[in-house]
Structure 1
Amino acid sequence: MSDDTAQLIEEVNTENQSSVSYNDETVIWEGRPSQWVNIGSFLWWGAFLVVSTVLLVFWQSGLNEGYSQVITEAVYWAFCGLVGLSIFSLVYAYLSVRYEHTVITRNKIKEAKGITSIFRQELFCEISDIKDIHSPPAGLLGLIGLSTLVIETNDDDQPIIKIRAIKNRNQLIEMLLPIWRKLKIERKGYFGDR
């Protein structure tokens, strides 16, 4: 464990505090997923883009001879549409992950998703509403040191919070567990209604 992580865990440690204030919004962790979660989309749409572009070039360089003008134009615009769709899909996949952001404070988990302010969605969940924390196997992302954290909650808006493709998942769990336990006891008790 690095010195910075140990210092952050020491700052977050709730054992020395009598209670956690409802308005204490000290950030204990924030981050966004790695673009590695898009590797499948990038490979699929990248291959689609290359094949569409090559076919378009072949079509324009003489493969279209012998066909009527209507068919030539239709095939040309179909290939152009496929190239445009590929580029749009690549950019959308990149931006959707780029604008996914999670902030964990001493009281809340805030998830923000959406590319523009029109489609941006911000969801808040109280840490005391957490039911369980799961650490699923990292799979292929584990080869590059990334993993996912899944948090089950009692919140109707966010029953499942997935913090995808992050580094140091275990340090995040170590920071989150003491706060969660303290808030669970203070605000609901272990044998609460949920």
Structure 2
Amino acid sequence: MNEEETVIWQGSPSQWTNFGAYVFWLVVTAAIVAAYFFTAAGPLVLLALAVPVLALFIRWLQTRYHVYEITTQRIRTRAGILSRHTTELELYRVRDYALVEPFWLRLVGRGHLVLETADRSNEQVVLRAVPRVAWLKDQVRTHTERMRQARGVRDLEINSP
């Protein structure tokens, strides 16, 4: 195994995954602004705007700081704003691939890559709302096969009668 590890792709989930939350908090913001104009509570009502603004900002940050990195040997996932959690999956452990392309994500050229693995602690890895998902699946598959050959790994399936 003399191959040097290089990065194939790195990215974050699309902010489109937060569309429902964004719409909800924008409706709440509109309700707070309407309450300001139609009630006698005055400027104190505008203090309530801090809640949706903060919620939207935190949601945006959580998605922005969820990073996928696919190299020629592994998949690394880092998530967290203040505290960070990193997981790694060796490519030779990937058993199966699936593409999930919901209509609303296909409209913006995104999809989910679902990987079934032989790793007991991480049996399924989902790369959510990533661009060019079919190309990414092909890259993972190609490098998975290379890593299996380099390590001499074979996947054994046993069917019981």
TM-score by length of 2: 0.84
Q: Are the equivalent residues in 2 in contact too, given 1:152–1:160 (CA < 8 A)?
A: yes
- Describe the superposition over 1:84-113 as per-residue Cα deviations: whole angstroms up to 9, x where unpaired: 221111011111111111011111100011
Which residue of the partner structure matches residue 39 of structure 1? Answer: 19
- Describe the superposition over 1:128-171 as per-residue Cα deviations: whole angstroms up to 9, x where unpaired: 11121110133211112111111122324433222122221111
Q: Are the equivalent residues in 1 in contact too, given 2:96–2:116 (CA < 8 A)?
A: yes
Q: Does 1:80 align with 2:52?
A: no
Which residue of the partner structure matches residue 141 of structure 2? Answer: 177
- Unaligned ranges ≥5, structure 1: 1-19, 65-71
Task: Tell me the distance in 2 between the aligned counterparts of 1:131 and 1:93.
Answer: 32
Task: Tell me the distance in 2 between the aligned counterparts of 1:89 and 1:159.
Answer: 31
Which of 50, 56, 77 is the matching residue for 1:90?
56
TM-score by length of 1: 0.71
Task: Tell me the distance in 2 between the aligned counterparts of 1:157 and 1:54.
Answer: 49
Secondary structure at the counterpart of residue 30 of structure 2: helix
Letter of the structure 2 residue corresponding to residue 51 of structure 1: A
| Larger RCO of the pair (alpha carbons < 8 Å, separation 6+) | 1
Letter of the structure 2 residue corresponding to residue 188 of structure 1: V
Task: Tell me the distance in 1 between the aligned counterparts of 2:35 and 2:65.
Answer: 34
Q: Does 1:161 align with 2:141?
A: no
Q: Are the equivalent residues in 2 in contact too, given 1:184–1:190 (CA < 8 A)?
A: no
- The structure 1 segments of at least 4 consecutive aligned residues displaced by more than 3 Å after TM superposition are none
Task: Tell me the distance in 2 between the aligned counterparts of 1:144 and 1:137.
Answer: 11
Secondary structure at the counterpart of residue 100 of structure 2: coil
Letter of the structure 2 residue corresponding to residue 139 of structure 1: F
Query: Which one has a larger percent helix, Structure 1 or Structure 2?
Result: 1
- Unaligned ranges ≥5, structure 2: none
